[in-house]
Amino acid sequence: MKKLILSLVLAFGILAISAQAQAAKLDPNNTLYLNLKYGRVVIQMFPKVAPKTVAQIKTLVRQGFYNGLKWHRVIAGFMAQTGDPTGTGCCGSSLPNVPAEFSSIPFTRGIVGMARSQDINSGNSQFFIMLDDTPSLNGQYTVWGKVVSGMQYVDKIKKGDPNDNGKVADPDTIISMQIAADADKKK
């Protein structure tokens, strides 16, 4: 029994070290801190996969655009969506829309995608984080990042009404979003 406990302790220690090593390897210029009331979510952005989308997100983050925005559409077992300044899901920023940058990266739990209307080139400021794997989205939306830590906080975002397309009454908000390199400069 002692050997089993020791093995488990060692395994968890190795996992913790591995997570720390992965976080240390992240490029701070392409890492986002998404601060929620539940804790910090760290998102690795994919500038080689979606360069125009990542550039748009970085511009908006540096403008403080996302600070205080609502998670207006959250569907349990699917995704959590934000990025509309009106909190209704209809609108975006004053920046021009970004053309679709489809890739072969699958929409699995923790993937961050750009929301859009029926027009595939209508991505602007709204994005979503996958709460579960959803292969039906593959190749249909731009993948621009992935949650590398803090997914447990994303899971706590208040869920919406499944009978009203995930619309959330009294939704949670983004406290702030920062690019890691910018946040580290302020310290």
pLDDT per position as a tens digit, 37-96: 999 999 999 999 999 999 999 999 999 999 999 999 999 999 999 999 999 999 999 999
pLDDT per position as a tens digit, 113-164: 999 999 999 999 999 999 999 999 999 999 999 999 999 999 999 999 999 9
Tokens at 172, concatenated: 């949670």
> Strands 73-75 and 79-82, how do they pair?
antiparallel
CA–CA gap between residue 131 and residue 110 (Å, rounded): 6
Q: Residue 72's closest CA among 58, 62, 84, 57?
A: 84
The domain ranges of the chain are 28-185
What value, to the nearest 5°, has the Cα angle with vertex 42 and ends 41 and 43?
A: 115
Q: Say which CATH topology domain 28-185 has.
A: Cyclophilin (2.40.100)
